[in-house]
Amino acid sequence: MKTLKKYTFKVVLDDDGIEKLVRTNEGFGALEILGISSMVQYEVNQMLSGEMTPDRIERVVKDSPTPPPEAPTEKQP
């Protein structure tokens, strides 16, 4: 049987303009979270310094009020 563990971050903007970071832990222990966050911090620092590029970047936009801009197209002669 497969076990799914999930840790979710959400940044919520309240009606009064205050941002809150909401975290939900579904199955991770404290040491697992500490290890994962240390690994992510290390990888982000490597990306910022140019030592590493992400293997995969995935961006999902849900309920976007405006469609994303279209990619520029090459003009045909």
pLDDT of residue 66: 60
User: Where are the domains positioned within the chain?
Assistant: 6-49
| Distance separating the N- and C-terminal Cα atoms of the chain | 58
Band (76; pLDDT cuts 50, 70, 90): low
Which range is most confident: 41-45, 61-65, 71-75? 41-45
How far is it, in rounded angstroms, from Cα 43 to Cα 56?
A: 13
pLDDT of residue 54: 75
How far is it, in rounded angstroms, from Cα 38 to Cα 43?
A: 9
Going by C-alpha positions, the residue among 1, 2, 6, 3 that lies closest to residue 32 is 6
